[in-house]
Structure formats: C-alpha cells, structure tokens
C-alpha cells in the first residue's frame, strides 16, 4: 500500500515521495501499474484529500480517476484532511488541516466501482459504527488504537463483529502476548527483531492508568538489557498495580454520535471526469 499521504519534510520534502505524489497522479498510476504487475495481492493507495492549495474536490477526483484508470488500483484509503507542505510539523499535519469527511462520502457517490476506506480523527468503536451506518466501506483507526489499545481494540471484536466478549484481563493478554512474542524472537534469532520491536504494540497498554509512568521508565531501562519478552515483563510489569492488571475490560468510551450527522448535506457537487484533460494533460 504505497502512501501518498505522508507530509514529513524527510519524505514529501524530497519531491517524489509521500503526499507530494498527489501532485503527480500520472506517475502514481504508472508506478501502481508496475507494482501490481509484480505482486499477487490487490494493491491500494493511501492519500490525503489534497495538498496545500491543490485541495478542491475536483482535484482529488482527478487524482483518484487517473490512478484508477492507469493501474489496477481499486482501493483507496482516504485520510480526510489535506496536508500542508510548508511550515508545520508532521504531527501538526495530523491535527491542523480540518477534516472533511464529506469529500470521502462524495467519493463513494462518484466512484461506485471503487472501494474506499475512511481514515482520520476517528477515535472510538461508536464512531466507526457511525461511519459505517452512513455508508463507509471500511474505516481505519490510527492513533486511537495505538495510543489506547485496551479501550479501542478491546471492544472491536464484540462491537463490530458481534463476537462474545473474551473476558480477558490485561494480565492474561500480556501472558498470551509473552508466549507469542518470544516465539517470534525465537523464530528469527540474531537479535532481530529486538525485544523493543516486539513490545512496541503493548507500550501504551496501560495508558492513563496508575503505574504507567513508572512502567515506561522501567521499559526504557529493560530494552537495554533484556533479550526475551519474558525477562522484559519481569522487569517492568511490577510497576502496574494488581487492580489494573486483573480488572476486566470496561465499557467502551462513548463516541461522538453526531460526527457524521450532516455529512450527506455537505457533499460537494458530483464529479464529472474530464477524461481527455485528466488523462493526457500531464
């Protein structure tokens, strides 16, 4: 999944990477064609809704139209805010440009043969469900899942897929993860991946809970010496009180029920592909 969404100066600043690619849809279409010819799996593109002042709905559609016409790309992941290339940091580029979910929903209307995943600013399972109810094909949750995996991911199987609640506590999840993590380290050997790589998904597991700060400090120290997930956890987990480790997952945090309430009233006018101009003017 090539990313045409990264605003970092280290990436997009070099011209032909990240979100700068949105300015050259012909190149992206041709590159996707080559990528698709060299893999057996379906290819997809992740992008923003625009870059700097190239931010009209029509320009976004031209990008989608051209990439999907020149390559077998049928799936786009839309981070529904534009990127600003000059003056703000990558983190600010994930908060400052406003989200325009109406562009995403307009793409569903104007490209009925393509698949679109909605991304950007969706923080809870409630909000995922609200997006799906409005017709989203798929929803991608980034930072919320990473920063608070227990409350975000802990509810996914029941709330989205209707599976019975696992009833697991954090301690039980950590125990299962230790067996998995050490099996991964054992498979590859040679100190690669490092314990740090394997533990990364669990580093925010105690977000906002008592002991989290001490756990993080102990983790920093343990990464210097520990060669297994088991020894890493023996050094660090003592920072977390039993009451946190042994409590089952609580009710999911409430989402913003009205996040997409008026989205269909805000849709931009339908896109009309200017086929000759779009495909050959570049």
Ligand X SMILES: Cc1cc2nc3c(=O)[nH]c(=O)nc-3n(C[C@H](O)[C@H](O)[C@H](O)COP(=O)(O)O)c2cc1C
Q: Is 143 in the site for ligand X (CB under 6 A)?
A: yes
Q: Which stretch binds ligand X (CB under 6 A): 104-112, 141-149, 175-183, 247-255?
A: 141-149
Q: How far is the CB of 52 from ligand X (least distance, A)?
A: 18
Among the options 6, 47, 61, 226, which is catalytic? 6
Q: Rounded CA gap, 94 and 107, in Å?
A: 21
Among the listed residues 50, 97, 120, 255, the single contact to ligand X using CB under 6 A: 120
Among the listed residues 121, 149, 154, 255, the single contact to ligand X using CB under 6 A: 121
Residue 54, SS3 per DSSP: strand
Among the listed residues 22, 45, 51, 141, the single contact to ligand X using CB under 6 A: 141
Name the residue whose CB lies closest to ligand X. Answer: 142
**Nearest residue (CB) to ligand X, 151 versus 233:** 151
Cβ-based neighbours of 6, under 8 Å, separated by 6 or more? 12, 17, 18, 19, 90
Q: Is 21 in the site for ligand X (CB under 6 A)?
A: no
DSSP 112-155: TTSEEEEESS--SHHHHHHHHHTT-SEEE--HHHHH-HHHHHTT
Q: Rounded CA gap, 45 and 71, in Å?
A: 11
Q: How far is the CB of 66 from ligand X (least distance, A)?
A: 20
Q: Is 79 in the site for ligand X (CB under 6 A)?
A: yes
Q: Which of residues 84-103 bind ligand X (CB under 6 A)?
A: 94
Say if residues 108 and 61 touch (Cβ distance below 8 Å).
no
How many other CB atoms are found less than 10 A from the CB of residue 250?
A: 10
Say if residues 246 and 213 touch (Cβ distance below 8 Å).
no
Q: How far is the CB of 165 from ligand X (least distance, A)?
A: 24
Q: Rounded CA gap, 220 and 229, in Å?
A: 14
Residue 6 designated active-site: yes
Extract the tokens encoding 20: 């700068």
Binding mask 42-71 for ligand X (x = CB under 6 A): ----x-------------------------
Binding-site sequence positions for FMN:
46, 79, 119-121, 142-143
**Nearest residue (CB) to ligand X, 142 versus 268:** 142
How many other CB atoms are found less than 10 A from the CB of residue 161?
A: 7
Residues contacting ligand X: total by CB under 6 A: 14
What number of residues does the chain have?
Answer: 282
**Nearest residue (CB) to ligand X, 4 versus 195:** 4
Q: Is 119 in the site for ligand X (CB under 6 A)?
A: yes
Q: How far is the CB of 205 from ligand X (least distance, A)?
A: 17
Q: Is 193 in the site for ligand X (CB under 6 A)?
A: no
Closest CA to 88 of 77, 98, 75, 97: 97
Extract the tokens encoding 7: 């605003």
Catalytically active residues are 6
Binding site for ligand X (CB under 6 A): 3, 5-6, 46, 79, 94, 119-122, 141-144
């Amino acid at each position: 999944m090539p990313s045409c969404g990264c605003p970092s100066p280290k990436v997009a600043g070099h011209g032909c990477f990240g979100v700068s690619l949105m300015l050259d849809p012909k190149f992206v279409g041709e590159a996707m064609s080559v990528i698709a010819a060299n893999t057996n799996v379906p290819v997809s593109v992740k992008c923003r809704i625009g870059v700097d002042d190239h931010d009209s709905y029509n320009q976004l559609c031209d990008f989608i139209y051209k990439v999907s016409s020149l390559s077998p790309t049928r799936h786009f992941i839309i981070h529904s805010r534009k990127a600003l290339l000059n003056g703000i940091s990558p983190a600010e580029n994930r908060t400052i440009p406003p989200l325009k979910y109406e562009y995403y929903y307009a793409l569903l209307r104007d490209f009925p043969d393509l698949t679109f995943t909605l991304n950007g600013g969706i923080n809870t399972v409630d909000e995922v469900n609200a997006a799906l109810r409005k017709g989203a094909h798929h929803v991608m949750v980034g930072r919320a899942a990473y920063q608070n995996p227990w409350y975000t991911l802990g509810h996914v199987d029941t709330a989205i897929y209707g599976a019975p609640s696992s009833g697991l506590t954090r301690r039980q999840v950590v125990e299962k993860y230790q067996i998995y993590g050490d099996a991964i380290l054992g498979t590859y050997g040679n100190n690669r991946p490092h314990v740090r790589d394997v533990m990364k998904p669990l580093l925010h597991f105690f977000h906002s809970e008592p002991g989290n700060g001490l756990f993080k400090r102990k983790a920093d120290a343990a990464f210097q010496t520990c060669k297994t997930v088991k020894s890493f956890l023996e050094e660090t987990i003592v920072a977390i009180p039993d009451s946190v480790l042994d409590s089952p997952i609580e009710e999911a945090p409430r989402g913003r029920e009205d996040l997409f309430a008026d989205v269909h009233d805000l849709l931009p006018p339908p896109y009309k592909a200017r086929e000759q101009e779009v495909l050959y003017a570049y």
